[in-house]
Structure 1
Amino acid sequence: MYSFKNDYSEGTNPRILNALIESNLEQVDGYGEDHYTLEAAELLKQKIKLSNIDIHFLSGGTQTNLITISAFLRPHEAAIAANTGHIFTHETGSIEATGHKVISVEVNDGKLSPDHIKSALGMHTDEHMVKPKLVYISNPTEVGSIYSKTELEQLSSFCKKNNLILFMDGARLGSALCSKENDLQLSDIAKLTDAFYIGGTKNGALFGEALVICKDSLKEDFRFHMKQKGALLAKGRVLGIQFLELFKDELYFDLAKHANKMADLLRKNIESMGYKFLTYSPSNQIFPIFPNKIIEKLQEKYSFLVWSKIDEDSSSVRLVTSWATKEDAVKAFLKDLKNLTC
């Protein structure tokens, strides 16, 4: 059975595995103070084209969201997220467990706009309610849409005017940046958000995310928060080595481009067969709508998520491609789908 269920089914890119093996017996300092991790942080600063940013390496997306948001907010403050946002739907109430409410906003395409945030602010007016303070967005979103530079500029401007923290979840940021429709660069994101992270887990790393804190007032004591919540790894080198390998050349972007290419192949051919999609997605997640009978047949050979019920006879599914998705597997899926369609 071949999996289109997620983009972390495979282990890691061979180059990263080799880098870990080659450095395996070298003795280095712990807790991210080894030379690999320090070099990786400096390299990312060069790629982002800013030196006055703090970079921290954490093991996974949920951990990064949890620690970042809980560190940035005071006890009475809350985060605003789309109703599809990962912190609202798929993190087991981790943010709420730290005492911070997640205010959800209904959206159509996974993206928040200033109007969405304005409506949330209008509903929380005094000290009898939590105070909205942080705006959480994902790029790509949970339904595969991406933010344009104009959209992010509008969000950034609105947040600054209303003294809100803008935080971008970048678990699949590589896919967004390498989308044919993207007009954002890492340097733009660093200038327009207060913090964001570069996802490695879903883009070829064994595990790991690189958190970038851009706003000075949010930087203080962040390693204390990491340590208190179990995120300051003794063997921090494992994270540093991976990001050093991903960014010393174009590997990070090459892996994301491959994932997007495989998604494009699926999207174009599924569309040519006459199928519709739940949402427009130019990233490595696509959401076609199939008859339930065809879904059941496909599931005999392929693993993927049934995303939502459309009606009694059809559902949307989520197909995710990765840095390691085989083109032959994509073509086999499309051939099987075509045969079932006919």
Structure 2
Amino acid sequence: MYSFQNDYNEIAHPRVMQVLNDLVGKRFDGYSTDKYTQQITDNIKKRIGRNDADLHFFNGGTITNLTAISHVLRPHQAVIAVDSGHIATHETGAIEATGHKVITVSSGSGKLEPKHIQAILSEHTDEHSVQAKLVYISNSTEIGTVYRKQELQALKAECNKHGLLLFMDGARLASGLMSKESDLTIEDIAQLTDMFYIGGTKIGAFAAEVLVILHPALKSDFRFSIKQKGALQAKGWLLAAQFDALFTDDLFFELGKYVNDKAQQLVSLFEQKGFSFLAPPESNQIFVILPDELAKKLMAHYALRKICEPDDGLSCLRLCTSWSTTQQDVDKFISTFKQLL
């Protein structure tokens, strides 16, 4: 049974595995202090156009979010996110466990807008409520939508107006950037956020993310925060090496385009058959709404995730394409779906 449940269900892209295999027999200094890690760091800085950035490698998205957000906020401060945001729904209250409130707003698009920030600030005006300080967004979002450059510019302007910091979760940044609906570049993001992370785990890495800190005030003592949160890896070079593969010949971006292409073929199938979506399908996550009976039949043939029941007799299924999804996998799904109809 082929799985469209997620984009991290195979070990790693062959080029990532090759880089790791090539390290056999070599020795490195620990905790990301080695020359190899520094070389990779410099390459990423050059690619994003920010030689002044601080980069830190992590082994997963939740620990990246937890460490970054808890480092930024003072005890009385909070982070703003949409109600479908990863930190609000899929991280077991990790942020709240550090004593920081996640203030959520409803957003049908999965994207945060200046009006959402304004509404929250109008309710948090004095010392009797938490002080909003950090704005959290993700690209692509939890429901597969992507930010346009104008939207990110507007958010950054709103943050600057109120002295807020802007943080982008990039767990699926490759897919978000390479969406046909996106006019953003990674260089744009490096100019329009105070920190963001480049996700590797969901685009072919074994397990690796890299946090990019841009705002000068956030850089101080960050390694202390990493260590305190249990995220300072002795084999830091093992995390960095995966980005050696992903950022050589722009493999990261090539894979982002690839997963989106495979997803778009499935989107076209659903559109041709007259089915709608929970949100506009703009990346490698598709949220298609199907009759319950058809959804059950499909789930008997494929590993899929049921997200919700938007109406009586309907089910919303999430399909997620991966760097390892082949054209044969897509063709077989299309054939099976047509047969089930």
Which residue is equivalent to 2:5? 5
Q: Letter of the aligned partner of 1:191 in structure 2?
A: Q
Q: Counterparts of 1:16-55 in structure 2 under 5 Å? A: 16-55=16-55
Rounded to whole Å, the distance in 2 between the matches of 1:81 and 1:128 is 20
Rounded to whole Å, the distance in 2 between the matches of 1:220 and 1:337 is 54
Q: List alignment gaps of at least 5 residues for structure 1.
A: none
Rounded to whole Å, the distance in 2 between the matches of 1:102 and 1:252 is 31
Which residue is equivalent to 1:191? 191
Which residue is equivalent to 1:288? 288
Which residue is equivalent to 1:207? 207
Rounded to whole Å, the distance in 2 between the matches of 1:24 and 1:77 is 45
RMSD of aligned C-alpha atoms? 0.8
Which residue is equivalent to 2:81? 81
Q: Letter of the aligned partner of 1:311 in structure 2?
A: D
Q: Counterparts of 1:133-144 in structure 2 under 5 Å? A: 133-144=133-144
Q: Letter of the aligned partner of 2:263 in structure 1?
A: A
Deviations 1:55-101 (A, max 9, x none): 11111000000000000000000000000100001000000000000
8 Å contact kept, 1:273–1:338: no
**Does residue 1:340 correspond to 2:314, yes or no?**
no
Deviations 1:12-47 (A, max 9, x none): 011111111111210110101122211111001000
Q: List alignment gaps of at least 5 residues for structure 2.
A: none
Which residue is equivalent to 1:91? 91
Q: Letter of the aligned partner of 2:220 in structure 1?
A: E
Q: After alignment, is 30-39 or 82-91 more displaced?
A: 30-39
Normalising by structure 2, report the TM-score: 0.99
Q: Letter of the aligned partner of 1:275 in structure 2?
A: F
Rounded to whole Å, the distance in 1 between the matches of 2:336 and 2:46 is 46
Q: Counterparts of 1:106-145 in structure 2 under 5 Å? A: 106-145=106-145
- Residue 113 of structure 1 and its aligned partner are, at CA, apart by 0.5
Which residue is equivalent to 1:221? 221
Rounded to whole Å, the distance in 1 between the matches of 2:35 and 2:57 is 14
What secondary structure does 1:262 align onto?
A: helix
Rounded to whole Å, the distance in 2 between the matches of 1:214 and 1:41 is 14
Rounded to whole Å, the distance in 2 between the matches of 1:108 and 1:180 is 20
Identity %: 51
**Does residue 1:14 correspond to 2:14, yes or no?**
yes
**Does residue 1:159 correspond to 2:128, yes or no?**
no
Q: Counterparts of 1:49-64 in structure 2 under 5 Å? A: 49-64=49-64
Rounded to whole Å, the distance in 2 between the matches of 1:301 and 1:238 is 37
- Residue 281 of structure 1 and its aligned partner are, at CA, apart by 2.1
Q: After alignment, is 307-316 or 140-149 more displaced?
A: 307-316
8 Å contact kept, 1:256–1:322: no
Rounded to whole Å, the distance in 1 between the matches of 2:35 and 2:295 is 49
